[in-house]
């Protein structure tokens, strides 16, 4: 009998604006949906959208790929809905945030009060415990963490970390409340041969038109540190075309970024291109010379491996699981090391066409090494096997 995993997540397919969690769960369903019965409860609309998705039936179960998905009207989780879903038999309650009220805190509390001990719980905090992330709205978050430690609501559950650094963040934050399991996010690489080193688009001539084309692909929020990227570009001497792609999550923060943009030198040209659907990402990243994300914290970084898979070298902060490699395809610096980031941009601009071609090939090889999904699938399989065994008393 297949285990039943009841998933709560703020947005799911066909949504794409919230980034990594949607892709993480969709890929999990794609690879394990034959052996696990996934039931997903989510909003009926994408982030900041006023209208529900077309072609879905709200407040009913919909077949989406290998999962059943319940799109809640208005995007709100109600006591009536929780009572309804907790009536069904399930083995694992899978929550994809620690701080999200509607799709994590309330379902967990309801499960404790109404679930009558049914099933086990897996929580994936999705990078929320990184030092950079906890530094945003710090006191509010620390207050809830203290409550979580003392309330007992987080006892006897499993925390999913996507890499060992996130596992350390969880242990440091929760101090022994629950066990931690590392189960890496599954990355579905683009189909060959579109990202192979011999592809003419990947290996095209470096820096057409004399500009270094840099891509920032992420949601516009303080955690992603767009303002830091713009500040770094103030001191860059080479000609730069800097494109920002992603939804605006914080309007006040976006206004701050616009103010910095207005003060940039004439050699730096900035464009905001808005959000992009996941199906278009691979073709987008191949058009750029460098991917730049000085993020304050990532538990995985789907956009990072997407860039590498497109043959685009990445320049990122050290607050991700990704480490710099000898080839230079992935370079990391500490937050605040503006000089280091700026130097890396200048060095990329000075590469000859042959040197840059080697960098693109190295990026593709690095992505291929990380996109070997076998180990990631097995770790996730074992995570849910353990959680199911806990639920069934095995």
Residue 92: CB atoms within 10 A of its CB come to: 23
Q: What is the pLDDT of residue 194?
A: 44
Sheet harboring 92-95: ordered strands across? 61-64, 67-72, 37-43, 4-8, 92-95, 120-123, 158-161, 179-182
The encoded tokens of residue 23 equal: 């892709």
pLDDT, one tens digit per residue, over 295-339 is 998 888 889 999 998 889 999 999 988 888 889 999 999 999 999
The length of the chain is: 394
The encoded tokens of residue 103 equal: 């799709």
Q: What is the pLDDT of residue 183?
A: 93
Q: What is the pLDDT of residue 200?
A: 47
Query: 208-370: same fold as 4-188+372-392?
Result: yes
Give the CA distances from residue 75 to residues 41, 71, 96, 292, in Å, rounded to whole numbers and listed in that order.
10, 8, 16, 33
Q: How far apart are CA 378 and CA 2, in angstroms?
A: 16
What residues does each domain of the chain span? 4-188+372-392, 208-370
Per-residue pLDDT for 263 more than 90?
Answer: yes
DSSP-assigned states of every residue in 78-115: -HHHHHHHTTS--SEEEES-SS-IIIIIHHHHHHHHHS
Q: How far apart are CA 244 and CA 301, in angstroms?
A: 16
Closest by CA position to 318, among listed 347, 344, 294, 348: 294
pLDDT, one tens digit per residue, over 224-257 is 999 999 999 999 999 999 999 999 999 999 999 9
User: Quick one: fold of 208-370?
Assistant: Rossmann fold (3.40.50)
Q: What mean pLDDT is predicted for residues 60-66?
A: 96
Q: What is the pLDDT of residue 79?
A: 80
Q: What mean pLDDT is predicted for residues 70-89?
A: 86
Cis before residue 193, ω within 30 degrees of 0? yes
When pLDDT is cut at 50, 70 and 90, the band that residue 192 belongs to is very low
Q: What mean pLDDT is predicted for residues 42-67?
A: 93
Average pLDDT of the chain, as a whole number:
89
Residue 318: CB atoms within 10 A of its CB come to: 15
Q: Exposed e or buried b for every residue in 111-134, given b needs 16+ CB within 10 A?
A: bbeebeebbbbbbbbbbbbbebbb
Per-residue pLDDT for 167 more than 90?
Answer: yes
User: Quick one: fold of 4-188+372-392?
Assistant: Rossmann fold (3.40.50)
């Amino acid at each position: 009998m297949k285990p039943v995993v009841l998933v709560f997540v703020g947005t799911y397919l066909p949504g794409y604006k919230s980034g990594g969690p949607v892709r993480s769960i969709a890929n999990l369903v794609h690879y394990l949906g034959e052996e696990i019965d996934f039931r997903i409860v989510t909003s009926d609309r994408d982030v900041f959208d006023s209208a529900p998705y077309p072609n879905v039936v709200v407040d009913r179960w919909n077949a989406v790929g290998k999962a059943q998905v319940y799109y809640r009207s208005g995007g709100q989780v109600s006591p009536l809905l929780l009572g309804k879903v907790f009536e069904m038999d399930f083995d694992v309650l899978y929550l994809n945030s620690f701080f999200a009220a509607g799709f994590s805190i309330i379902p967990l509390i309801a499960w404790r009060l109404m679930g009558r001990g049914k099933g086990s719980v897996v929580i994936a905090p999705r990078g929320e415990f990184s030092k950079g992330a906890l530094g945003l709205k710090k006191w509010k978050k620390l207050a809830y963490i203290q409550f979580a430690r003392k309330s007992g609501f987080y006892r006897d559950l499993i925390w999913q970390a996507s890499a060992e650094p996130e596992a350390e963040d969880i242990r440091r934050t929760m101090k022994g409340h629950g066990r931690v399991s590392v189960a890496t996010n599954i990355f579905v690489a683009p189909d060959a041969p579109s990202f192979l080193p011999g592809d003419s688009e990947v290996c095209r001539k470096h820096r057409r038109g004399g500009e270094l084309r840099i891509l920032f692909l992420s949601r516009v929020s303080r955690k992603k540190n767009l303002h830091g990227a713009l500040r770094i570009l103030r001191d860059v001497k080479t000609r730069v075309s800097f494109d920002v792609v992603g939804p605006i999550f914080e309007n006040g923060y976006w206004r701050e970024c616009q103010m910095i943009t207005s003060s940039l030198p004439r050699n730096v040209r900035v464009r905001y291109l808005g959000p992009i659907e996941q199906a278009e990402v691979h073709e987008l990243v191949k058009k750029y010379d460098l991917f730049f994300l000085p993020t304050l914290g990532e538990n995985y970084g789907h956009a990072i491996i997407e860039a590498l898979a497109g043959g685009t070298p990445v320049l990122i902060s050290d607050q991700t699981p990704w480490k710099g490699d000898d080839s230079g395809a992935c370079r990391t610096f500490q937050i605040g090391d503006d000089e280091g980031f700026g130097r890396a941009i200048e060095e990329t601009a000075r590469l000859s066409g042959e040197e840059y071609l080697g960098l693109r090939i190295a990026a593709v090889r690095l992505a291929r090494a990380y996109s070997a999904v076998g180990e990631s699938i097995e770790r996730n399989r074992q995570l849910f096997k353990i959680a199911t065994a806990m639920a069934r008393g095995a």
